[in-house]
Amino acid sequence: MATALNTIVFDLGSTAIKAAVCRDNELCVPVFSRPAPDILNDHGLYISDAMAYKTEVDQLLEKCLRYTNATPLLGVCFQRSSLLIWSRKTGLPATPLISWQDNRGIASCDALSEHNAVIRQIAGVPLAPYYFAPKMRVLLLQQPDLLQGIMAKELLMGTLDSFLIWHWTEGKYYITDASMAARTLLMDIKNVQWSGHLCELFNVPQHLLPEIKPSNDLGIELSIGAILQTSVADQSAAMLASVANDTSEVLVNLGTGGFVVRYLSQDSINETGDYLKTLVYQDRRKVKHWAIEGTLNSISAALQAYPFQDCKTENLAQIENIYSIAEPTGVGAPYFRTDIGVMFSQQVEHLTAQQIATLLLEGIIFRIALILEQYHQHSTIQRVYLSGGLSALPCLQQGLASCSPAPVFRIIQRQAGLQGVLILTHSLQSASDRKAELITVDYQFDALVNKYQRWKGWFYQVISD
Contact 206, 40 (CB under 8 A): no
Q: What is the pLDDT of residues 150-186, one digit of tens each?
A: 999 999 999 999 999 999 999 999 999 999 999 999 9
Rg (CA), the chain: 22
Q: What is the pLDDT of residues 132-153, one digit of tens each?
A: 999 999 999 999 999 999 999 9
Rounded Cα distance, 182 and 12, in Å? 18
Q: Is residue 269 pLDDT above 80, yes or no?
A: no
458 alpha-carbon distance from chain centroid: 29
Q: Which residues of 99-129 are buried (b: 16+ CB within 10 A; e: fewer)?
A: bbbbbbbbbbbeebeeeeeebbebbbbbbbb
27's enclosing H/E stretch is strand 26-27
Q: What is the pLDDT of residues 431-442, one digit of tens each?
A: 888 899 999 987
199 alpha-carbon distance from chain centroid: 23
Q: Which amino acid is at 192?
A: V
Rounded Cα distance, 254 and 143, in Å? 37
Q: What is the pLDDT of residues 26-45, one digit of tens each?
A: 766 668 999 999 999 888 89
Q: Which amino acid is at 249?
A: E
Q: Is residue 111 pLDDT above 90, yes or no?
A: yes
String of DSSP letters for 353-399: HHHHHHHHHHHHHHHHHHHHHHHHHHS---EEEEESGGGG-HHHHHH
Please give the backbone phi and psi of residue 429, each rounded to the nearest 5 degrees, phi first.
-70, 135
Strand partners, 12: 17, 78
pLDDT of residue 151: 97
Q: Is residue 206 pLDDT above 90, yes or no?
A: yes
Rounded Cα distance, 18 and 32, in Å? 6
Are the folds of 7-234 and 243-464 the same? yes
Strand partners, 211: 175
Contact 259, 235 (CB under 8 A): yes
Three-state secondary structure call for residue 320: coil
Contact 226, 169 (CB under 8 A): no
Q: What pTM, to 2 d.p., does this model score?
A: 0.88
272 alpha-carbon distance from chain centroid: 18
112 alpha-carbon distance from chain centroid: 24
Helix axis angle for 234-242 and 416-425, nearest 10°, is: 80
Rounded Cα distance, 100 and 431, in Å? 27
List for the chain the helix, strand, coil content (%; round to 5).
35, 25, 40
The CATH superfamily label for domain 7-234 reads ATPase, nucleotide binding domain (3.30.420.40)
| Peptide bond between residue 30 and the one before it cis (omega within 30 degrees of 0) | yes
Rounded Cα distance, 39 and 424, in Å? 29
Spell out where 56-201 has E strands.
73-78, 83-87, 97-98, 155-159, 175-177, 187-188, 193-194
253's enclosing H/E stretch is strand 249-254
Q: Is residue 15 pLDDT above 90, yes or no?
A: no
Q: What is the pLDDT of residues 279-324, one digit of tens each?
A: 999 988 889 999 999 999 989 999 999 999 999 999 999 999 999 9
pLDDT of residue 1: 35
Q: What is the pLDDT of residues 395-409, one digit of tens each?
A: 999 999 999 999 999
pLDDT of residue 29: 60
CATH number for the domain whose boundaries are 243-464: 3.30.420.40
Please give the backbone phi and psi of residue 50, each rounded to the nearest 5 degrees, phi first.
-65, -40
Name the residue ranges covered by the structural domains of the chain: 7-234, 243-464
Question: DSSP assignment, residue 346?
Answer: S
